[in-house]
Amino acid sequence: MSDFYHHEQDLDRFRHRIFIAGGAVLLAFALLLSRFVYLQVVQHEYFSTRAESNRISLVPVVPNRGNIVDRNGIVLARNYSAFTLEITPAKTRGLEETIDDLAQVVEIEVKDRRRFKRLLEESKNFESIPIRTRLSDEEVARFTAQRYRFPGVEVKARLFRQYPAASLASHAIGYISRINLKDKAFIEESDQAANYKGTEQIGKTGVEAHYEFELHGKTGYEQVEVDAGGRAVRILSQTPPVPGNNLTLTLDSTLQGVAEQAFGKRRGSLAAIDPSNGAVLALVSSPAFDPNLFVDGIRFDDWDELNNNPDKPMLNRAIYSTHPPGSTFKPLMSLAALSQGKRTPNQAIADPGYFNFGNRRFMDDKVGGHGSVDMYKSVVVSCNTYYYTLANDMGIDNIARFMSQLGLGRRTEIDIPGEATGILPSPEWKAQRFKKREHQKWYAGETISVGIGQGYNAYSTLHMAHALGNVVNYGQVFRPHLVKNIKDPSGREIRTIEPEPARQIELKREHVDFIKRAMAGVVKEGTGARAFAGAAYESGGKTGTAQVFSLKGGRYVEGQVKERLRDHSWYVAFAPVDQPRIVLAVMVENGGFGAQSAAPIARQVFDYYLTGKLPGGPAPESDAPDDAEEVSDESH
């Protein structure tokens, strides 16, 4: 009985608990249901948006970069399409292992790895970095078959920049390379960040850099459905990109080639300008480099070689290297004297071979002097003594004022980056340049060195060509420019770099004509005569020598000085004399005196430009100075 009672009681309790359990289950399921209602009804819109934004990704479509052609339409920069293998480090399971595994599928050389490592350092973790470029079709197929093994690795079809003429005009054209942090900041400052989404490369130097935003084009977008791994599944909509504009350069690539070849293996630079409009016809910096090396991220050893080469091929000498112009300064001094009324052409001095100033004696390089020297003769024979006295008479302020007008000691505003201002010495300049008070004072003796283009004077070949161009153009100043016009992708010209004169210098026509005649004299009977013997046109020129090494109290004997300490050889010229179509300045580093190295290069360039004659090889070096070649120094 009690057993039964117990049993009934237990059963009751059990059934009671079953009820409670059932109630708890219903309660719990009600909780779940309310959660579902909250997520699927109340928050439905929010989660729909989240799912959509998960699903849809805006993928930028990078536009084709504009091409660059020379004035005759010869292509200097274009694009071609190739496959690259790229890794997004953040998405891989382990970078080293991934690369090791990849190496078994496609060939990956040590230099590829090194380049990757370098690019990795300057990129963010979620950026896609190429490990291999220019995959063959077979390699693409091999990788694609095993793609599932490599999360974070993708084959991408990319456009590559190609410079078909390799190193030709490399300093003028420049190159493009991967966007680094500095470029990124620049893009953001220029308010171009949106347009550069997906763009990986940017112009670093030359025209490629200056006209970056013209060349780049407008980035398009694709709305794509992506999976959680970020891989595109299908395209939903498209906004096509607009290709960049094409540039036509003022450069004549054959002329450029002639000029570069004329340098041979010598270091130096040349700037050739059409004085009537400022168009740059040739811009040489020797040695040059191959911009193709930079395009897909320069390899370590290539970079190392370019960087450590003592000849500094990356340096754009034509616009950045400045040196004293030596005697090429003298025609400009003469023009200053005429313009400021300090000399007439016929006023002559008696040259004893030296000029005494205080207790110092400035030497002419011709022992015993040139005798009676007027302005014409001073240019033709490059008489130092004439310019010592002239500088002393004019004073530094007058010299600086005039030369500044001609465009020296300031940027020419050429349309490529990296231009030097040069140094036009003056008391103000010196006061700014030096910190210590005792260094800031201008000494009258310094004016005398400035008069023959030595001392603190420092200009690039572009400066000198520009200044001479301004002179032979009777004071009408054109901004030197490398780009002639900009065309849209359909070939319609949208902008011409107009040959609008930038300003006008007050010069008297007869003064300019006199200087032109004197410089023609240099070629006919002076220091340039040997280099231009037999030329089919009339040109004007002036040789010059920039000192590298000051031989205190001694005479400069070329053979006794090491190659790197030899003087720099200058030549400035224009042709034809009547209606100049080309002005140029050449400088050969350690080339000795001006007529020796620089003038023969100018001869080859003129010959081609004016008569179409192609030279057989690098310009020859004259072995002996013409009579009256100048080498000068302020000697005691």
Cβ neighbours of residue 574 closer than 8 Å, sequence gap 6 or more: 275, 468, 469, 472, 516, 519, 539, 540, 541, 580, 582, 583, 584
* Shortest Cβ 34–another protein spacing (Å): 10
Peptide bond into 618 cis (omega under 30): no
DSSP class of residue 265 equals T
Cβ neighbours of residue 180 closer than 8 Å, sequence gap 6 or more: 122
* Shortest Cβ 92–another protein spacing (Å): 15
Cα-based torsion angle of the residue sequence 571, 472, 319, 442 in order, rounded to the nearest 10 degrees: 80
Q: Alpha-carbon distance 161 to 79, whole Å?
A: 5
- Helices H / strands E in the chain, number of each: 23, 23
Cβ neighbours of residue 293 closer than 8 Å, sequence gap 6 or more: 299, 302, 306
Size of the site for another protein (CB under 8 A): 40
Q: Which two tokens stand for residue 516?
A: 């032109």
Q: Which is nearer to another protein, 224 or 546 (CB)?
A: 224
Write out 8-48 in H/E/C secondary structure: HHHHHHHHHHHHHHHHHHHHHHHHHHHHHHHHHHHCHHHHH
Helix or strand or coil: residue 401? Answer: helix
Task: Look at the block and give the residue holding tokens 């590298």.
Answer: 548
Task: Look at the block and give the residue holding tokens 């009258």.
Answer: 444
Q: Choose, by CB under 8 A, the member of 107, 227, 510, 578 that binds another protein.
A: 227
**Choices 5-13, 149-157, 168-176, 249-257; region in contact with another protein by CB under 8 A:** 5-13
* Shortest Cβ 459–another protein spacing (Å): 58
Catalytic site includes residue 327: yes
Q: Which is nearer to another protein, 13 or 360 (CB)?
A: 13
* Shortest Cβ 90–another protein spacing (Å): 10
Q: Choose, by CB under 8 A, the member of 18, 157, 236, 565 that binds another protein.
A: 18
Tell me the chain's radius of gyration from C-alpha atoms: 36
* Shortest Cβ 140–another protein spacing (Å): 24
Q: Which listed residue (123, 285, 286, 327) is catalytic?
A: 327
Binding track over 186-225 against another protein, x by CB under 8 A: ---------------------------------------x
What part of residues 26-55 is at the interface with another protein (CB under 8 A)?
Answer: 26, 28-29, 31-33, 35-37, 39-41, 43-44, 46-48, 50-52, 54-55
**Alpha carbon 426 to its chain's center:** 29
Q: Which is nearer to another protein, 13 or 433 (CB)?
A: 13
**Choices 7-15, 252-260, 419-427, 601-609; region in contact with another protein by CB under 8 A:** 7-15
- 23 is a site residue for another protein (CB under 8 A): no
- 410 is a site residue for another protein (CB under 8 A): no
Task: Look at the block and give the residue holding tokens 């700037």.
Answer: 271
Q: Which two tokens stand for residue 354?
A: 């030296």
* Shortest Cβ 88–another protein spacing (Å): 14
* Shortest Cβ 219–another protein spacing (Å): 25
**Choices 6-14, 419-427, 478-486, 544-552; region in contact with another protein by CB under 8 A:** 6-14
Residue 23, burial from CB neighbour count under 10 angstroms (0-12, 13-18, 19+): exposed
Q: Choose, by CB under 8 A, the member of 110, 228, 536, 557 that binds another protein.
A: 228
Q: Which is nearer to another protein, 13 or 117 (CB)?
A: 13
Catalytic residue list: 327
Give the binding site for another protein (CB under 8 A).
3, 6-7, 10, 13-15, 17-18, 21-22, 25-26, 28-29, 31-33, 35-37, 39-41, 43-44, 46-48, 50-52, 54-55, 225-229, 233
